[in-house]
DNA sequence: AGCATAGGCAAGCGTTGACTTGCAATCCAG
DNA sequence: CTGGATTGCAAGTCAACGCTTGCCTATGCT
């Protein structure tokens, strides 16, 4: 048995929180150590490098995120709502983690492995999309495009809000959003049941 | 007359290019100087600081961007296409500049002024949305939500592609996208004319 | 031609970031 | 209780970044 004195979950939580807040470069190891209540040297003894620390932390946090728990039920609208709800809940937990990861990933390739668990979660959602497409209930297209169409508006709304331009942007209503996704944004039109 | 020897447009172009590529911190003044063919000291003599240089450069580039030239025509679908086309064209010129700006803006407030021209451009588009909403041709909602719904999917698709996960994501087709935006993603449904 | 100005060049300053190291204190297992 | 592993602490290394400075050259205007 290896004695565990440090509170690793707390470290990982701090890492992700500061990563979302300040980005990879902006989240310094000193600040992480201070916020997690451990010594900076401990971080390097345990994880070797900042990149490895972030990899462990991000994968750890993603393995328990609501979006990984969505499953196929046969009810298209309900499943889309579940996906949207899960994304909103994930955003509540970890802020703008998805756009932040995508942005940083386009700059530093060494964070690619930090994306693996998140990517697996996305894969689950994509599978659901594909099933509904093959049943003819959703437009046939690259399922990642479908997912972008479903979550993109929410992500961008959050990005606008977080940009702090003084915009009182309302939170997206999951039900309205799924309806708009399915039936479009023309008003006063009989809904297709 | 002040003699102008340095090629300012070239500097500004380099700044924006490296900013989109590596982010604010990642785009070092040394690399900018080298890529622009000027001496690093010149940058500081002319612009005082990195932040001011970026402010000037980003505002300069945004003042000539396609998305600022969209105008109201009375034809909803055509105008939406113009907006989408303008965004796609802007992305072709400057890559992921919008998500990058939004991400960086949430971290460094001193870049807020670098967003002013971009923000004015967005304002023009928002005005168009508001007009169509008041005519009852678009769902009544916060116009920035409408804009996010229209451009969000495209932005996110680009972010996925740029994240370099080896995904052969197809480019969004402007016409398809506007149709889906207006009429939704349920297939085999008679379109509302 | 003459002069003010701008830019190139090279060296350097101060700070900060990731990462290391040696030592003492502490913890757990056997 | 004892030994081996883990952490805290403090100091420090090294590189990079933003930014400055002094000097010299080149330019363009009058």
Which residues 6+ apart lie within 8 Å of A10 measured at CB?
A: A36, A37
Asked if the Cβ–Cβ distance from B23 to A162 is below 8 Å, we say no
Model pLDDT, residue B45: 97
A8-62: CATH class: mainly alpha
Residue B2: which pLDDT band, with cuts at 50, 70 and 90?
very low
A47: nearest nucleotide, CA–C1' criterion:
C19
Band of pLDDT at residue A2, cut at 50, 70 and 90: very low
Q: Tell me if A106 and B162 make a contact (CB, 8 A cut-off).
A: yes
Strand C and A48 CB separated by under 7 Å:
yes
Strand D closer than 7 Å to the CB of A185?
no
Inspect the interface and report whether the beta carbons of A165 and B105 lie closer than 8 Å. Answer: yes
- Per-residue model confidence as pLDDT tens digits over B114-140: 889 999 999 999 999 999 999 999 999
Which residues does chain A have within 8 Å of residue B112's beta carbon, measured at their own beta carbons? Answer: 164-165
Range from A114-123, A172-181, B32-41 carrying the lowest mean pLDDT: A114-123
Report residue B152's pLDDT band, with 50, 70 and 90 as the boundaries: very high
Q: How confident is the model at residue A183 (pLDDT cuts 50, 70, 90)?
A: very high
The minimum CA-CA distance between A137 and chain B, rounded to whole Å, is: 6
Highest mean pLDDT among A145-154, A165-174, B162-171: A145-154
Per-residue pLDDT at B150: 98
Position A165 scores a pLDDT of 86
Could you give the CA distance from residue B126 to residue B148 in angstroms, rounded to a whole number?
A: 10
Residue B66, pLDDT score: 93
Q: Which residues in A146-156 are b (16+ Cβ under 10 Å) and which e?
A: bbbbbbbbbbb
pLDDT over 50 at B3, yes or no:
no
Residue A1 has pLDDT above 70, yes or no: no
pLDDT at A3: 41
Q: How far apart are the first and last CA of chain A?
A: 59
Tokens of A118: 């998140």
Q: Please tell me the distance from the alpha carbon of residue A83 to that of residue A124, in angstroms, as a whole number.
A: 10
Nucleotide nearest A28, CA–C1', reads: C17
Q: CA-CA distance, A184 to B180, in Å (whole number)?
A: 6
Read off the pLDDT of residues A49-104 as tens digits, 9 standing for 90 and up: 999 999 999 999 999 899 989 999 999 999 999 999 999 999 999 999 999 999 99
Topology at the third CATH level for domain B66-182? Tetracycline Repressor; domain 2 (1.10.357)
- Which nucleotides of strand C are protein-proximal, with an atom < 7 A from a CB? 5-11, 16-22, 27-30
Q: What are B61-119's pLDDT values in tens digits? A: 999 899 989 999 999 999 999 999 999 999 999 999 999 999 999 999 889 998 899 99
For residue A1, what are its two tokens?
A: 């048995």
For residue range B165-186, list pLDDT tens digits in order: 888 899 999 999 999 999 999 9
Nearest to B148 among A106, A145, A160 (CB): A160
The arithmetic mean of pLDDT across residues B29-39, rounded, is: 97
Residue from A55, A33, A58 nearest A44 by CA:
A33
pLDDT of residue B5: 63
Q: Scanning the structure block, which residue is given the tokens 């040394």?
A: B30
* Spans of all domains in chain A: 8-62, 66-162
d(CA B108, CA B98): 15
Q: Which residue carries 């803006």 as its tokens?
A: B105
Q: What is the pLDDT of residues A11-49, one digit of tens each?
A: 999 999 999 999 999 999 999 999 999 999 999 999 999
Give the pLDDT band of residue B142 (cuts 50, 70, 90): very high
**Chain A stretch 124-143, residues whose beta carbon is closer than 8 A to a beta carbon of chain B:** 136-142
Pairwise CA distance, residues A121 & A98, whole Å = 12
């Amino acid at each position: 048995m290896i004695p565990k004195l440090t509170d690793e979950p707390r470290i990982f939580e701090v890492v992700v929180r500061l990563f979302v807040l300040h980005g990879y470069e902006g989240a310094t190891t000193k600040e992480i150590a201070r916020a997690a209540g451990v010594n900076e040297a401990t971080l390097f003894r345990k994880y070797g490098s900042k990149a490895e620390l972030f990899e462990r932390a991000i994968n750890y946090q993603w393995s328990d995120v609501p979006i990984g728990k969505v499953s196929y039920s046969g009810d298209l609208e309900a499943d889309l709502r579940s996906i949207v709800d899960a994304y909103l809940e994930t955003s509540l937990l970890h802020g703008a983690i998805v756009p932040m990861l995508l942005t940083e990933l386009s700059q530093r390739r060494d964070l690619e492995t930090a994306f693996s668990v998140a990517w697996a979660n996305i894969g689950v959602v994509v599978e659901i999309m594909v099933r509904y497409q093959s049943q003819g209930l959703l437009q046939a297209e690259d399922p990642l495009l479908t997912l972008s169409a479903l979550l993109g508006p929410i992500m961008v709304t959050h990005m606008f809000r977080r940009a702090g331009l003084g915009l009182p942007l309302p939170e997206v209503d999951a039900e309205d959003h799924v309806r708009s996704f399915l039936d479009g944004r023309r008003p006063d039109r009989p809904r297709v049941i």
